[in-house]
Structure 1
Amino acid sequence: MIARAPRDNAFGDRLPLYRERVNQRLARAFSSGDEIPGRLRAAMEYSVLGPGKRVRPLLAYASGELGGIDAEAIDAIAASVEFTHAYSLIHDDLPSMDDDDLRRGLPTTHRAFDEATAVLAGDALQALAFETLSTDEKLATRPAAAQLKIVGWLARAIGPAGMVGGQALDIEAEGKSVSETALENIHRRKTGALIRASIMMPSELGDFSDEARVKLDAFACDIGLVFQIRDDLLEVEEDTATLGKNAGSDRANDKSTYPSVLGIIGARNRADALYERATGTLESLGPGAEGLLWVSDFILRRSC
């Protein structure tokens, strides 16, 4: 992996403010009365409000900066993609899926509560993501066509063409030798689709040319795959304490990963090449892309 120093721009200074914005928006979803049964609420809060890097919300805010969109209009989008991400982690960790016991340095949701509650918490968080988008006062002032496109991005990212389809393909591939093309298809769906949506949902609120939108989408697709390759590499480079989840679980579950298919050096080279292509595309969109470039660097350099 090519060593890179963090980019020197103001987005890094704004990170705490953006994280606080989305954390407040996430917490607000659980503060509206007693409609949610107590144990279910506890499992949802446990899965969402604990420690997390908030990469997907940060990508949403950075994409909003590129489009000149006020952060208040991005808050609901940022919260919805984090609710969705939390739901996906709960379900990925289940005994019927990856059967993991540790997530972000804490017991996984089904271990902290029970399997049935974890399934329901994941289901509820997915629904809450769409409720957040459909009831937000700031988004309600935007054109209906833009609102529908935003919801459509998230629905496609979650569904059979996205995360769910990627998970199904991932399960089918366990114990088998797969090609790099097949592996890329799995991860562009399972991981990349939500990262792509996090970047493209805010673009529906901005005034982008057709050419700029195509470039932004190309970047979004590539950086999502960089994220997954880096994730695969961390599985073999770091220990459980550093990762906050069980190191080596992919190997234990006999999953195909980029290091297993390409080797560690090959996986690093693939991530570097995709990163260079992604950021090269992004830089052509001008100085407003500095935030997305900063998060891209973080994705490539992260150690957990």
Structure 2
Amino acid sequence: MQLLTEIIAALSGEKTNLVEAIFKAKVLAFRLGDADLRQWVDSELSGYRDEAALPSYRRLHMTIMAQVTDGLHVYNDQVLPVFHLEKRLRDKLTVTELRESVVVVERFSQSEQDLIVALQPEYFPALSKGLRRGFELLRAWGKHSVGAHLQVVTEVRARLLEFVLNLEGSLPDDADSRNLRQIAEDVGVHEMFKGAVFGDNVNINIGSGTQSQLSYTVHKNDFAGLAKVLGEHGVGQADIAELRQAVDEDGTREAEKSYGPKVRQWMGGMIAKAGSAAWNIGIQTAGGVLANAISGYYGFGS
């Protein structure tokens, strides 16, 4: 697909253009009909609302710094101890939620000055309990680690690129915008997206509405775990053995960040079996199971 090629070029070229890639990803989200992908793209472009859940890469650790005095001298840029604080307060002070748009975060990453978060005086009594006797707290602030904002930009770029590469490797050669939504359901694009953007290991959620929700985790390079999950979802031992052979023939995929040709061929054959006596499972569910489980095995969500 030309759109996927353009996104990959914008993300992986010598001169990357993350914002352009995300805008193109918004077009892709509409064509795929995936609400979660569309919401993530909108949040990265416009910022995350206060009530919206944040991806883990947008929760940044801060070191608490202070200006203190012993009555005779003033000491600047002192690192304050925080382990004496109650956990909820400690987490509130040492973890900041970065809800600004990726455009703003990118500007933060280019700043030559350290960005700090000033702490209100109401926190001083609790923080002062960690000081030696005779010292008084004058000012306190949180300081992000060096390169924290650049890391957020890199995470957005890497995760979107990973998803698009996986998608490109899973779509048939004749895919176009007219039948893209149905194809997306067949290959489990929704679960593929969640695995690439939101997790190191891939959680497989099956069922919706009044159906029960079953969750499984497949860890990187754990074929026994992969086989267990597939077996629990009705994949036969002969098919699992064929997948083992396909994985071996494709070899490592860390550099390519996409399924190999043998695994793609195997997945296509399994999708064809879905809904039949050979594999009694719905096509949409089958695509989600396969995409999540195999992506988890390769570590594509890491």
TM-score range, shorter chain: under 0.3
Could you state the TM-score of these two structures normalised by the residue count of structure 1?
0.26
In terms of fraction of residues, the more strand-rich structure is 2
Structure number with bigger Rg: 2
More helix by share: 1
